[in-house]
Structure 1
Amino acid sequence: MADSFELASGRKLWDAGSITAHVLVIRSENDFWSRPEDVTTLVQDLRRAASVRTVTIPEATHYVHLDRPERGRSRLIAEVTRTLAQPATMKAVD
């Protein structure tokens, strides 16, 4: 609860600036917890990442990983699989 309060107040709990790996940021369009501006801020903080790719899954919810395939789960799995299949030295493409 304390972490949730801090995050809602704009406090960062960790520094994404130290991440140097390729990064995939997935956000569900109807996620009650994740806001579009959170993704923007995270991407700005990932200044040292090898690459950053963002994906918004239309009409999906916070629980997309538990939902039916047609409600976004298939897209989530496809995006993660696509990212993991890339060679580590390859730049991600949108």
Structure 2
Amino acid sequence: MIMRALLLHRLSAIWLLLVLATVASWEIGHGLGISDHRLASVAIVVVAMIKVRFVALDFMELRDAPLAFRVAANLWTAGIAAGLSAMILTA
């Protein structure tokens, strides 16, 4: 009964999503055979920033924080993703 409650908890589902996103990142980098390494790198960065957002909102409990904190975290995540993507694509 306790195990079922743990598996159905929101954080457990998010943890599973994070694990699947990690596998997806690895697959993008090694298995899918994307010929342009820059596009693969940008895809991996985007997946990583999605993971960062989930960690910040759910494991750092920003989901229930004041709006200003949530907006700042989301803007920071989007800014880092955009900056890294721009650096990758212009290299």
TM-score by length of 2: 0.40
Looking at CA atoms only, which structure, 1 or 2, has the larger radius of gyration?
A: 2
Greater fraction of residues in strand: 1
TM-score normalized by structure 1? 0.39
Structure with the larger helix share: 2
